[in-house]
Chains A and B, each alone.
Chain A
């Protein structure tokens, strides 16, 4: 089967850095997406990794290691508005379905 694992919840302080991990075991791999989802709202696209390494986009960075089946999302200079769920999703060759993890609920405290 396909398995995507993320921590259920994390807590961090405003201004700090937090790393949200995602490990995956899938039959084939094409790419990995990170989405942010505020309660009651649409998931919004954050990043997409296809090759190994770090992709940086402002305060958010995403890392991928295909050999280890591992990714992380790094959030710097945390703000209260970053309190949300962060969803990791994998795609496989020849398909378009996203396989999602259960998401990580991040709480940012003042």
Chain B
């Protein structure tokens, strides 16, 4: 049973470009969570999605950030017009049917904005 997959593992963008981060949850998991880890800081919750639904996006910046989890395919975290402050590690986690279950994390995408 493959774990949570994220790609790309490393992404370099120039200021003003768009970044797309992908997450495939573990098989059988229908809940996806995105967290951001800034240098020397803890993981911070961004958004929680189930298939085709955003359940909680209270941790997402109001502008430039969006997330989706379509019926088919991976969850996507999209950052438009990136700025240097967006440089961070973005982790995706998934859990089974119950949202209170243990979350299993992917290896993360390290975004560097030049």
Contact = CB atoms under 8 A, between A and B. Distances in A.
A100 B102 contact: no
B99 A44 contact: no
Interface stretch (A13-21, A59-67, A70-78, A90-98): A90-98
Nearest to A30: B100
Interface string A80-109: 000000010101000111111111000000
B42 A103 contact: yes
Nearest to A89: B43
Interface stretch (B13-21, B71-79, B80-88, B105-113): B105-113
Contact of A43 (B48, B99, B105): B105
A40 B110 CA distance: 9
Given A101-B42, A102-B40, A96 B106 contact: no
Contacts of B40: 102
Interface residues of B, number: 26
In this complex, the interface size class of chain A, counting residues with CB under 8 Å from chain B, is 20 to 34
Given A96-B100, A97-B48, A97-B59, A42 B3 contact: yes
A42 B42 contact: no
Given A30-B100, A42-B4, A91-B100, A100 B105 contact: no
A42 B107 contact: yes
A24 interface: no
A35 B56 CA distance: 23
Contacts of B35: 98, 100
A43 B31 contact: no
B45 A97 contact: yes
Given A98-B45, A100-B42, A45 B31 contact: no
16 contacts: A41-B108, A42-B107, A43-B105, A45-B102, A45-B103, A87-B42, A91-B100, A96-B31, A96-B33, A97-B33, A97-B48, A99-B45, A100-B42, A100-B44, A101-B42, A102-B42
Q: In the A-B complex, list the 7 residue pairs whose CB atoms are closest, starting with the nearest.
A: A100-B42, A97-B45, A96-B99, A102-B42, A42-B105, A100-B43, A42-B107
Interface of A: 4, 30, 33, 35, 40-45, 48, 87, 89, 91, 95-103
